[in-house]
């Protein structure tokens, strides 16, 4: 995967480390389609896990309400299986590693 923004209907190319044939690369091609045209910024995330799922809650900030209590308003909740959460962890790790390597150059 490449570090770039994907527009609705764009094609995401997943490359493998092996020297596979061009037909094999076509099998790894995934068309990305966004159903939502609005992106939300999140600077805070809350992660919780149940027996069957992992929940990711996203917020743009921690705010103070009228009583002075600190509140983290959640604008997006994502529920995923433990296997999907492990794949997300791996993808995030790879992305951050590439970013660190690029920044060091």
Q: What is the pLDDT of residues 15-50, one digit of tens each?
A: 434 444 556 667 788 888 877 778 889 999 999 999
Q: What is the pLDDT of residue 19?
A: 47
Task: Give Dmax (Cα) for the chain.
Answer: 63
Q: How far does the chain reach from its first CA to its final CA, in angstroms?
A: 20
Nearest CA to 77 out of 47, 33, 104, 103 is that of 47
Specify the pLDDT at position 7. Answer: 44
- pTM for the whole structure: 0.65
pLDDT digits over 60-87, tens only? 999 999 999 999 999 999 999 999 999 9
- Contacts of residue 15, defined as CB under 8 A and 6 or more positions apart, other chains included, come to 1, 25, 28
Structural domain spans, the chain: 1-37, 40-104
């Amino acid at each position: 995967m490449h570090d770039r923004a994907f527009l609705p209907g764009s094609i995401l190319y997943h490359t493998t480390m092996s020297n596979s044939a061009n037909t094999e690369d076509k099998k790894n091609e995934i068309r990305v389609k966004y159903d939502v045209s609005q992106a939300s910024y999140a600077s805070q995330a809350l992660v919780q896990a149940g027996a069957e799922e992992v929940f990711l809650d996203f917020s743009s900030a921690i705010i103070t309400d009228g009583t002075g209590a600190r509140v983290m308003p959640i604008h997006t909740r994502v529920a995923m299986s433990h296997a999907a959460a492990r794949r997300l962890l791996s993808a995030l790790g790879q992305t951050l590693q590439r970013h660190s390597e690029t920044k060091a150059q």
